[in-house]
Structure 1
Amino acid sequence: MNGNFFGEREQQLLERFAERQPLTLTPQQLAEKWTGITRNEIALVCQTDVSRINRWLSRGRSYEAASPYYCQTLALFDIFLEFHQELPDSLISRYCSPKTIGESE
């Protein structure tokens, strides 16, 4: 088996990680924080359809709460938006499309 060794340093990191705050951001919180983001863009981030986003952002009978999975996805996206300039390229390349910021499809 070829992998990384899980040693004392990794154990300390695990303990810090285990004590973390929950990583969650609702669609409403994202839309309030990042004014100008569209429902289509939120759907793209969550890899879901706009009708689901509409239900999440609805205030009426059609309201549906976003699942913890989607709230965690939105929280990760928020971190990416806030700290993308500080993230190493290797991390961005590992988890994101190779397109550069500002490049059109």
Structure 2
Amino acid sequence: QNWVDQPIDKQIFENFNQSRSVGCGHYIRGCQLLCDTCHKFFPCRVCHDDEMDHEFPRYETKIVKCNYCEHEQPISCECELCHHQFGSYYCEKCKLICGLG
């Protein structure tokens, strides 16, 4: 049975917001990551590794830069200045920020 044939109280709807595109082709996130080796910001470790001659040390990520206001700060899921969320998911151990930025 198709979901459109289900009674309305059995259907699940999800809300999406249209906003400025953030991130890169690999990850959706509202910040850039600072490489601890070359001290340059990149949208993600894959973008970094495609461009540089060394690997991005992702477990050592300490600093991010907000894509909305360019504020630099310790890694977290939200900008401490403009309060935009960088993503809906943040893993402290692997330093992964992902989701809607």
| TM-score category of the 2 structures, normalised to the smaller one | under 0.3
TM-score by length of 2: 0.25
Report the TM-score when normalising by structure 1.
Answer: 0.24
Structure with greater strand percent: 2
Q: Which structure shows the higher helix fraction? A: 1
Structure with the bigger RCO (C-alpha within 8 Å, sep 6+) is 1
